[in-house]
Amino acid sequence: MDQRLLGQDVEVLIVNNGTPLTNITAVRSLEATFKFEKKEEGYLGETTDRYDEVYKGIDGKLDFHLENADSLALVGAIRDRARNRRSGIKINVKATFNFPNGSTPRLVFRDIHFGDIPLSFGSRADYGMMSVPWSCDDAKVV
């Protein structure tokens, strides 16, 4: 039986307009939900329903601790794009899965868009953290 993938074996890289934000490394979690809508319809003369599905994109969330100003620059780029101050801003997230058998597929979430981005400091002893919810229309395995 193959060993399962652990979080320590997943590398996450945020790319802003082709430039990797290599200083955002304290990623606590990455979530991605591939959304589908199940369609069900019953017809006269048939004893069971027919099913279909519609692909509705991807929703995700990225949680990371603040290590330097790159995370704030990322929020600034997102804000500028939302205000139409800078056109052409594309932000991607790339996750590399380092499987124990040596294979390293990468999943690239392309041209992601964002919702509210909370910045929190839970207490004097807690690290500053950002929870970044995002959505995109598709991902590519490379």
Instruction: Give the pLDDT confidence score for residue 137 in this predicted structure.
Output: 96
Instruction: Give the pLDDT confidence score for residue 25 in this predicted structure.
Output: 85
Q: Which of 140, 138, 120 is nearest to 130 (CA)?
A: 120
Q: Which of 6, 11, 29, 19 is nearest to 132 (CA)?
A: 29
Residue 123 backbone phi and psi in degrees, to 5:
-165, 180
Instruction: Give the pLDDT confidence score for residue 106 in this predicted structure.
Output: 94
Rounded to whole angstroms, the Cα distance separating 118 from 21 reads: 19
Instruction: Give the pLDDT confidence score for residue 1 in this predicted structure.
Output: 62
Rounded to whole angstroms, the Cα distance separating 111 from 121 reads: 29
- Rounded to two decimals, what is the model's pTM? 0.85
Strands 10-16 and 91-97: antiparallel
pLDDT tens across the length of the chain (142 residues) = 667 888 888 889 888 888 888 788 889 999 999 999 999 999 999 999 999 999 999 999 999 999 988 889 899 999 999 998 777 788 999 999 998 889 999 999 999 999 999 999 999 999 999 999 999 999 999 9
Instruction: At 45, list the tokens.
Output: 């003369």
DSSP structural state of residue 102: S
Rounded to whole angstroms, the Cα distance separating 66 from 25 reads: 9
Most distant CA atoms of the chain, gap in Å: 67
Instruction: Give the pLDDT confidence score for residue 88 in this predicted structure.
Output: 78
Domains in the chain, CATH or no CATH each: 7-36+53-141 (2.30.110)
